[in-house]
Amino acid sequence: MPFQIVHGDITEMKVDAIVNAANSSLLGGGGVDGAIHSAAGIGLYKECLTLGGCETGDAKITLGYNLPCKHVIHTVGPIWQGGNHGEQASLTSCYLRSLQLASEHECESVAFPLISSGVYGYPADQAIQVASRAIIDYLKDHDLTVYLVIYDKHDYQIDRALHQDLLKYIDQNYTTEPLIPYAAPQAAPPVSPAEEEDDRDHWSSVFHIFQRTSSKDRSSELQAKLEQLDEGFADMLFRKIDEKGLTDAQCYKRANVDRKLFSKIRSNRDYKPSKPTAIAFIIALELPLDEAMDMLKKAGYALSHSNKFDVIIEYFISNGVYDVFTINEALFAFDQRLLGG
Ligand code: AR6
């Protein structure tokens, strides 16, 4: 998935590069900087000594040493001073410069912490917005997988009004009851050995007659049915892409789906996507709920009210919100799987 928000410790990310929220000396400090230096070991500190520091909004790159990543990109975020001192532009620049360095060093995957949102005091909700916007913008023209690693889940807040509205919708629509009332099976009455023997004889003769008389008819009937299959998921996807006048790239980028995965679907029309991937395409195509249900069915899925993920998706489609990243922010806040593939 090109852009993913994950919960965890950035020092454990197995990616090509992780980004460090450093200070201008680049010689270590507290927070994520301290965690990265202590996990990487003295080699990182020695290389940082050669870099000559770094300006706010800029970035420099080193090796990863004992970390599971190849590179560490060190960037210096702005200190929050109320928001009117160019903080947003500096923070955007941190993401952009880091991503440019990652591309120059042929990194295919990069993980960011929430730069400036700790010691430097940038309000976490605004820091997430700046980070997401900068990353999504960059991904419009670059093939890269980018993770935004949220260390403390409390830092993560979506828009308050959206959150309230979603809670209300979930409350009204989410049910843990099955949609069809469940009837417990009745215990079968005991069967005597003689009755069992009769039963076996009966079914075995029915089976032989069925096999002898109708196997030819049945196979041609089945053949005919197989030749008249309904349009499949991939065919509907490609038809809709054409109808909407989108290019393939526009579609998979809007869907937050990796180019390689999209090529797989292009070359194998029977490809069965995962449910979050199927929904990501539905969102990219901006399908109304009835068409969304139809397309999901073609991939073998449905939306149900006994699944929180489904209720959240239904909420966004019903409200005409077709931005995968906004939906993913909400899914993340409610601990659900994210869209894309
Ligand atoms: N993995 C991912 N994120 C983390 C981790 C971790 N292991 N540890 C903390 N965070 P901060 P800043 C999150 O203070 O605000 C340093 O001393 C944390 O929850 O590390 O840019 C530098 O040397 C927060 O959301 O960086 C500078 O002097 C985010 O990382 C100064 O702090 C950033 O918090 C930089 O301050």
Range with lowest mean pLDDT among 27-31, 82-86, 153-157, 214-218: 214-218
Residue 101 C-alpha to ligand 1 middle, in angstroms? 20
Residue 121 C-alpha to ligand 1 middle, in angstroms? 10
Residue of the nearest CA to atom 11 in ligand 1? 118
Residue 56 C-alpha to ligand 1 middle, in angstroms? 15
Residue of the nearest CA to atom 5 in ligand 1? 32
**pLDDT > 70? residue 292:** yes
Question: Please, are residues 250 and 140 in contact by the beta-carbon 8 Å criterion?
Answer: no
**pLDDT > 60? residue 105:** yes
In this prediction, residues 102-110 reach a mean pLDDT of 98
**pLDDT > 60? residue 201:** yes
In this prediction, residues 251-256 reach a mean pLDDT of 95
Q: Cβ < 6 Å from ligand 1: which residues?
A: 9-11, 21-23, 29-33, 35, 77, 113-120, 149, 151-152, 155
What backbone phi and psi angles, to 5 degrees, belong to 3? -130, 125
Instruction: List Cβ neighbours of 29 (8 Å cut-off, separation of 6 or more).
Output: 22, 23, 119
Ligand 1 pocket, mutate which of 119, 122, 148, 156 (most atoms under 8 A from CB): 119
Residue 155 CA: nearest ligand 1 atom is 25
Q: What is the pLDDT of residue 231?
A: 87
Q: What is the pLDDT of residue 210?
A: 58
Residue 32 C-alpha to ligand 1 middle, in angstroms? 4
Residue 120 CA: nearest ligand 1 atom is 15
Instruction: List Cβ neighbours of 174 (8 Å cut-off, separation of 6 or more).
Output: 305, 306, 308, 311
Residue of the nearest CA to atom 8 in ligand 1? 32
Bridge partners of residue 7, in order along the sequence: 150
Residue 239 C-alpha to ligand 1 middle, in angstroms? 46
Answering whether pTM is above 0.85, one says no
180 DSSP 8-state letter? S
The angle subtended at Cα 153 by Cα 152 and Cα 155, nearest 5°, is 75
Residue 164 C-alpha to ligand 1 middle, in angstroms? 29
pLDDT in tens, 153-188: 887 778 888 888 989 999 999 886 544 444 444 445
Q: What is the pLDDT of residue 185?
A: 45
pLDDT in tens, 58-90: 999 999 999 999 999 999 999 999 999 999 999
Q: What is the pLDDT of residue 163?
A: 86
Question: Please, are residues 102 and 17 in contact by the beta-carbon 8 Å criterion?
Answer: yes
Bridge partners of residue 18, in order along the sequence: 72, 111
Ligand 1 pocket, mutate which of 32, 81, 125 (most atoms under 8 A from CB): 32
Residue 103 C-alpha to ligand 1 middle, in angstroms? 23
Domains of the chain, earliest start first: 3-157 (3.40.220.10), 171-179+230-333 (no CATH)
Residue 10 CA: nearest ligand 1 atom is 1
Question: Please, are residues 330 and 164 in contact by the beta-carbon 8 Å criterion?
Answer: no
pLDDT in tens, 108-167: 999 999 999 999 999 998 999 999 999 999 999 999 999 999 998 887 778 888 888 989
